[in-house]
Every structure is written in C-alpha cells, then in structure tokens.
C-alpha cells in the first residue's frame, strides 16, 4: 500500500497537495497540509493513485513523497 | 543462587553511581576487564537484559544495535551527552563521576559493531573536561556541540557532527541506516552505554535482578523543583515515585512532572505510582530522560506550564510549518489562561492546537510539547475552571 509522506523540513505550505488530493489532505490555519486520515502518512486508495503521483510531481518544494 | 567468582558485587539499586569517582585503576580493579563481545553476543545480551534507551524514547537497546549491525558500511557509534532537557543533569553527572564506565560502553558497542569511529557528543551545558583526555586515550573523539532542546535528537545530532546545522532532518531515512558520514550510526544516550558496560560484565540476569520484570534495571533520575535537596539519584525502575523523591525531600508537592518538558504530570494523590512504562501510561507520562520536577501547592501550575510552553515554542528549530506556527499560538493561549484571561473558548482552542500540531513535524518536538500541554490541562482542570472564573486556587488568600 502506498502512503504519502510530507517532509516537513521542506514543506512551505504551498497547498498543491491539498488541492489535488482533497480526499487525503486538508490545510491548517497556516496553509500547511493536514492528513484527513488517522495516519501521519495517509494511505493512498487505489482510485487515487494516479492523482497521488501527480501531486508528488507537482509539489514545488518536492516535499511530498510516495512511500 | 550461584555466584560467579569474578563478578564484582554492586548494589542492586544504584550500581552505576556506586562506581562514582573511581580512577581508571580502581575502576578496572572493581569491574575487571571489559569483555570483547561479537555483535550477536552483544545483541543477545542486550535483549536478555531488557535494557531500553535511557535518553528519552525508551527504545529497546538490542533492536537499535541490530538495525545498525544490518546496515551497509562500517558503523559509527555516538554517545549522546547533549542533555538538551533543561531539567536534566544526569549526562553531566555521568561524565563527571563515571567517565570510565561511559567510555567502556562506547568501546564495547564499537568493537562489537566493528565501528570505524567513536564520537562522544557533549552539549554546551555539560562539562567535558573530566572526560576529554580519557576519551582521546581510548580513540574516542569528543565533539563539543551547540544547540538547545532539539539538538540532541538523533538526526539533529548526526547533522551537527557532520558539520551541518544541528537541526532535525526528515526521519524517513533513519540514522541507523544512514547517519554520520552516510554510515549506519548508533546514537545512544551515555546512560544506556554505561548500563551496557555493566551488563557485559555481570550479565542480563544481574541487570534484571533490579527493577520491574517488564521494565528492568535502574535509571538515573534528576530531581528538581520544590525539594530540599535537588540532584541526581539512581533507583530501580518500578520504584514508587514517592520513594524515589524521598531522598530529595519534596516540600508540599501538588504534582510531579515526570519525563521533563516533553513529559506529563502525576498528581500528588498518586505518588505511590511505580515508575514503569505501564503504570505511567494512564498519565500520558514516560520516564523520558529521568526528569522528576516537583511542583508545590503554592505555585500556579498554569503559570509554570505556560512558561514551559513558551520556552518550547522558542526552541522550535524553525523548519516545520506546523511547529513554527502552532507552538507559539499554543503558548500564547496557555499564557492568556494563566493570566486569568476570562475567555471560556481558551480550553477548546488549546485542545484544538495541541491536536493540530501532533504528528506534524520532522522530530518529536511538536508531539512532546502537545503531550505536556494536554497533561497540564487534564491534571489541573480545577485550576483551568478557577482561572476562567478569575481566581487561582494556588495563590488564593494573597501571597504565601
């Protein structure tokens, strides 16, 4: 099962991940992603895999990784 | 009961501190030579002893050594004496009074792992002079490092040893896989190393003869706050909190902060709680690095806690958004509550913020800070109510 991991040392709260994957990420008071699941690194359901790949590529700071 | 002829006899409840102040010759005479153990033998011994890391996270020593042994390339072993926790003094005491035992532990593990490098990482507030010449003579490099509360976290420590800023990195790649110089690295608190140096000589059964079956051995505890005699003591794990505190002479205790600024409160009504992981869990506390801070009944816990929350917010490494933004906001809200800001939304806001930051950083700092704040709000709920009503139970009736 693929998970999405945010490298917090890189993340600048750009918000691309939350825009592309609203099912998995919301944003906090400051625009940083918040996992919508109980997991730190949310699991990617099969139906969202393509978009997860896209989100990983889209993050301008390369802070999002599929693990 | 059979006694091995050569085994030195050490007191069950304070084996480490019973060796304080010995010179090299006397240390060697009391303990005998340091055995040479292969890595499997060391791992099995550590596993049998049940020793867990004494630096804070409490991870089983055997598992950590095993993961470094499984790494690619020659290992690096780092003794962690950063003492980033302001209430802890045990690293300083260990280096000052049992330097030979600490270096024994470092050498034992390094030999077993076939390590290419041994480093003793010493924080800015820990005197390194007593150990420097001794370390050099044994091939241990002493690194005097800078940094505050988070500088002792494994990844931050590795970064600083490698000449980069001493801030945590993303934990996806563990230092046991890729640490100092890109090599598999064992970062071990110096108390853990000191225990290993004794276990290697006296065996796992000996270690387990003290402490609780599920949480064996002894630990060093730094006792401070409202006590007559603050300082560092050694006691068996599983001892009752009251018994460990007794030697320091607590004065009008209201609660004890167990585990330091990332720890949690145990109220004075529960001082018979044994110091084990299981018994502390209901309070949200762990032994951490062995900090016990006594709060007395005349001090406002919300004032004290808001000071700690502010300190922790100021110690943010400045890398992770949720921590940079969330911790100061949480400290602000707690400070307003402590200062009788009669805003009934404050408790819910504090609760929301501490949930918000949890699990959202490269290191344990947001989680630890949130845990401390959660424990403060739960333990001192009557204070919270009173402050919202405009008074404080600790300071009522004017100044003491």
Q: What secondary structure, in 3-state letters, does B257-291 show?
A: EECHHHCEEEEHHHCCCECCHHHHHHHCCCCCCCE
Suggest the residue from A4, A6, A8, A63 to mutate for an interface test with chain B (most B CBs closer than 10 A): A8
Distance from CA of B347 to the nearest CA of A (A): 18
Give the three-class secondary structure for B250: strand
Is residue B204 a contact partner of residue B37, using CB atoms and an 8 Å limit? no
Task: Say if residues B358 and B366 touch (Cβ distance below 8 Å).
Answer: yes
Q: How confident is the model at residue B107 (pLDDT cuts 50, 70, 90)?
A: very high
* Per-residue model confidence (pLDDT) at position B6: 54
Residue B398's pLDDT band (boundaries 50, 70, 90)?
very low
Separation between Cα atoms, residue B79 and residue B138, nearest integer Å:
14
Q: What is the mean pLDDT of residues B344-366?
A: 96
pLDDT at B57: 85
A-chain CB neighbours of B358 within 8 Å are none
Predicted local confidence at residue B396, as pLDDT: 67
Alpha carbons B176 and A50: distance in angstroms, whole number: 33
Contact check, Cβ <8 Å, A30/B325: yes
What pLDDT, on a 0 to 100 scale, did the predictor assign at position B2? 43
- Chain A residues with beta carbon closer than 8 angstroms to that of B320: 8-9, 11
Note the pLDDT of residue B243.
97
> What is residue B340's three-state secondary structure?
coil
Q: How far apart are CA A5 and CA B336, in angstroms?
A: 35
Q: Over the Cα atoms of chain A, what is R_g? A: 10
Write out chain B residues lying below 8 Å of A11, CB-based.
320-321
Contact between B356 and A9 using a beta-carbon 8 Å cutoff = no
Report the 10 Å Cβ neighbour count for B400. 10
Whether B23 and B97 have beta carbons less than 8 Å apart is answered as no
Q: Across the interface, which of B170, B322, B359 has its CB nearest the CB of A32?
A: B322
| Conformational region of residue B115, where left means phi above 0, alpha means psi within -120 to 50, and beta covers everything else | beta
What's the average model confidence in pLDDT over B191-201?
A: 98
Tell me the pLDDT of chain B averaged across its residues: 94
pLDDT tens, B273-301?
Answer: 999 999 999 999 999 999 999 999 999 99
Q: Six-digit token pair at B278?
A: 């299981």
Which residues are CB-neighbours of B329 under 8 A, at least 6 positions away? A29, B353
Can you spell out the DSSP letters for B60-84? Answer: BHHHHHHHHHTSSS--EEEEEE---
B322 neighbourhood in chain A, CB within 8 Å: 8, 28, 30, 32
CA of A6 vs chain B CAs: smallest distance (Å) = 9
In degrees, rounded to 5, the angle at the alpha carbon of residue B69 between the alpha carbons of residues B66 and B71 is 115
ipTM: 0.95
Q: Does B207 have pLDDT greater than 80?
A: yes
Residue B320 and residue A40: Cβ atoms within 8 Å?
Answer: no
Query: CA B124, B127, B130, B134: dihedral to nearest 10 degrees?
Result: -20
- Closest partner CB to A9 (pick from B169, B326, B329): B169
- A59 contacts in B (CB within 8 Å)? none
Q: What average pLDDT does this structure show over B167-172? A: 94
Residue B64's alpha-carbon distances to A4, B53, B160, in angstroms, are: 26, 9, 21
Distance of CA B387 to the CA centre of its chain: 32
Q: Is the pLDDT of residue B3 over 80?
A: no
The vertex-B330 CA angle with B328 and B332, nearest 5°, equals 70
- Choose among B192, B247, B188: nearest CA to B222: B247
The whole-number average pLDDT for the span B161-171 is 95
Mean pLDDT confidence for B296-321: 97
Please determine, for residue A33, whether its predicted confidence score (pLDDT) is greater than 90.
Answer: yes
Averaged pLDDT, B387-397: 86
Asked if the model's pLDDT at residue B400 lies above 80, the reply is: no
Q: Which residue has the higher pLDDT, B8 or B187?
A: B187
In this predicted structure, what is the pLDDT of residue B8? 64
Mean pLDDT of B217-241: 97
- Least reliable range by pLDDT among B127-131, B195-199, B336-340: B127-131
pLDDT at B5 over 60: no
Sign, Cα dihedral of B288, B317, B102, B76: positive
Q: Assess contact for B296 and B255: CB atoms under 8 A.
A: no
Across residues B54-65, what is the average pLDDT?
93
What local confidence, expressed as pLDDT, does residue B12 receive? 74
- By CA distance, what is A4's nearest residue in B? B172
DSSP B97-111: H-HHHHHHHHHHHHH
Contact B288, B317 (CB under 8 A): no
In a mutational test of the B interface, the residue from A4, A6, A7, A9 whose CB has the highest number of chain B CBs within 10 Å is: A9
Tell me: pLDDT of B367 over 50: yes
pLDDT, position B397 = 45
pLDDT above 90 coverage of chain B, percent: 93
- Concatenating the DSSP letter of every residue in B162-223 gives TTS-S----TTS-TTTS-GGGS-EEEEEHHHHHHHHHHHHH-HHHHHTSEETTEESEEEEEE
For position A38, what pLDDT does the model report?
Answer: 84
CB-based contact B172 A65, cutoff 8 Å: yes
d(CA B206, CA B197) in angstroms, rounded, equals 13
Is B338 in contact with B392 (CB distance < 8 Å)? no
Asked if B27 contacts B101 with a C-beta cutoff of 8 angstroms, the reply is yes
In this structure, the number of other CB atoms found within 10 A of the CB of residue B314 comes to 12
Q: Which of A29-33, B8-12, B75-79, B326-330 has the lowest mean pLDDT?
A: B8-12
Do the Cβ atoms of B321 and A30 come within 8 Å?
yes
Instruction: Quote the minimal CA–CA distance from A66 to chain B in Å.
Output: 11
């Amino acid at each position: 099962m693929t998970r999405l991991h945010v490298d917090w040392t890189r993340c600048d709260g750009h918000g691309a991940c939350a825009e592309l994957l609203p099912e998995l990420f919301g944003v906090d008071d400051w625009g940083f992603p918040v996992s919508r699941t109980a997991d730190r690194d949310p699991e990617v359901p099969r139906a969202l895999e393509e978009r997860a790949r896209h989100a990983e590529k889209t993050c301008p700071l390369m802070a999002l990784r599929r693990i | 009961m059979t006694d091995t002829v050569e085994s030195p006899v050490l007191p069950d409840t304070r084996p480490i501190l019973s060796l304080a102040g010995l010179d090299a010759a006397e240390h060697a005479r009391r303990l005998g030579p340091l055995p040479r153990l292969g890595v499997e033998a060391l791992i099995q011994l550590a596993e049998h002893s049940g020793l867990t890391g004494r630096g804070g996270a409490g991870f089983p020593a055997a598992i950590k050594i095993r993961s470094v042994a499984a790494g690619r390339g020659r290992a690096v072993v780092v003794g962690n004496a950063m003492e980033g926790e302001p209430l802890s003094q045990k690293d300083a005491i260990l280096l000052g009074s049992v330097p030979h035992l600490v270096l024994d532990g470092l050498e034992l593990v390094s030999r077993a792992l076939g390590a290419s490098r041994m480093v003793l990482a010493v924080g800015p507030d820990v005197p390194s002079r007593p150990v420097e010449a001794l370390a050099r003579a044994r091939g241990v490099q002493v690194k005097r490092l800078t940094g505050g509360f988070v500088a002792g976290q494994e990844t931050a420590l590795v970064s600083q040893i490698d000449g980069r800023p001493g801030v945590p990195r993303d934990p996806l790649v563990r230092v046991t896989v890729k640490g100092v110089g890109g090599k598999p690295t064992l970062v071990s608190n110096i108390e853990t190393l000191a225990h290993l140096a004794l276990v290697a000589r006296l065996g796992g059964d000996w270690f387990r003869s003290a402490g609780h079956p599920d949480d064996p051995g002894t630990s060093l505890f730094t006792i401070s706050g409202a006590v007559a005699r603050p300082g560092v003591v050694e006691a068996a794990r599983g001892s009752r909190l009251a018994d460990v505190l007794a030697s320091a002479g607590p004065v009008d205790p209201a609660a004890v902060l167990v585990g330091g600024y990332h720890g949690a409160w145990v109220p004075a009504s529960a001082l018979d709680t044994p110091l084990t992981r299981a018994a502390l869990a209901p309070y949200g506390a762990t032994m951490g690095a062995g900090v016990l801070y006594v709060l007395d009944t005349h001090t406002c816990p919300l004032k004290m806690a808001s000071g700690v929350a502010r300190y922790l917010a100021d110690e943010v490494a400045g890398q992770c958004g949720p921590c940079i933004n969330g911790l100061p906001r949480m400290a602000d809200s707690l400070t307003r509550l402590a200062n009788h800001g009669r805003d009934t939304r404050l408790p819910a806001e504090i609760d929301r913020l501490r949930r918000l930051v949890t699990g959202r950083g490269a290191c344990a700092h947001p989680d630890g800070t949130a845990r401390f704040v959660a424990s403060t709000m739960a333990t001192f709920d009557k204070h919270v109510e009173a402050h919202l009503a405009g008074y404080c139970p600790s300071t009522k009736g004017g100044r003491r």
